[in-house]
């Protein structure tokens, strides 16, 4: 009977040791995974901070450019008062298209000498600027 008690005592200690080792390995694996996830999150956070700082700098540049444009518009608004000034300054502000010009070709010199021939009226031609 003592042998059975001793055998069960040894097997109980062995089982407890195996369970302790398994728990230790599981805890170590969980700790290692948690540390890897923490490091990965820290790297992602650093990248996100850099992107955010870059976006913030671009926004500040856009804000400065907008402020400058608004100041320029306000200055232009104060200098142009009459409609004549608006018409005068408009081509410099907006790229307006050049107008189409109608030109009448010169009369050929031979028409006056050929008295019997009926002269056709001259058709104006449109000249489109390049």
pLDDT of the residue at 44:
97
Encoded tokens for 14: 């062995």
C-alpha span between 3 and 78 (Å, rounded) = 110
Sign of CA dihedral 54, 56, 58, 60: negative
Encoded tokens for 33: 């995974």
Q: Higher confidence at residue 107 or residue 36?
A: 36
pLDDT at 119 exceeding the cut of 70: no
Q: Give the helix ranges, DSSP H, for 80-128.
A: 83-93, 110-113
Q: 108: pLDDT confidence band, cut at 50, 70 and 90?
A: low
**pTM of this prediction?**
0.44
The tens digit of pLDDT for each residue in 4-51 reads: 777 688 889 999 999 999 999 999 999 999 999 999 999 999 999 999
C-alpha span between 92 and 94 (Å, rounded) = 6
């Amino acid at each position: 009977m003592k042998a059975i008690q001793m055998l069960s005592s040894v097997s109980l200690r062995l089982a407890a040791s195996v369970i302790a080792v398994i728990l230790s390995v599981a805890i170590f694996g969980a700790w290692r995974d948690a540390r890897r996830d923490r490091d990965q999150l820290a790297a992602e956070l650093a990248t996100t901070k850099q992107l955010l700082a870059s976006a913030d700098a671009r926004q500040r540049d856009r804000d400065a450019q907008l402020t400058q444009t608004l100041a320029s518009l306000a200055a232009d608004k104060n200098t142009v008062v009459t409609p004549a000034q608006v018409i005068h300054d408009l081509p410099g502000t907006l790229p307006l298209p050049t107008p189409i010009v109608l030109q009448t070709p010169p009369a050929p010199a031979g028409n006056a000498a050929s008295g019997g021939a009926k002269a056709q009226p001259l058709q104006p031609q449109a000249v489109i600027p390049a």
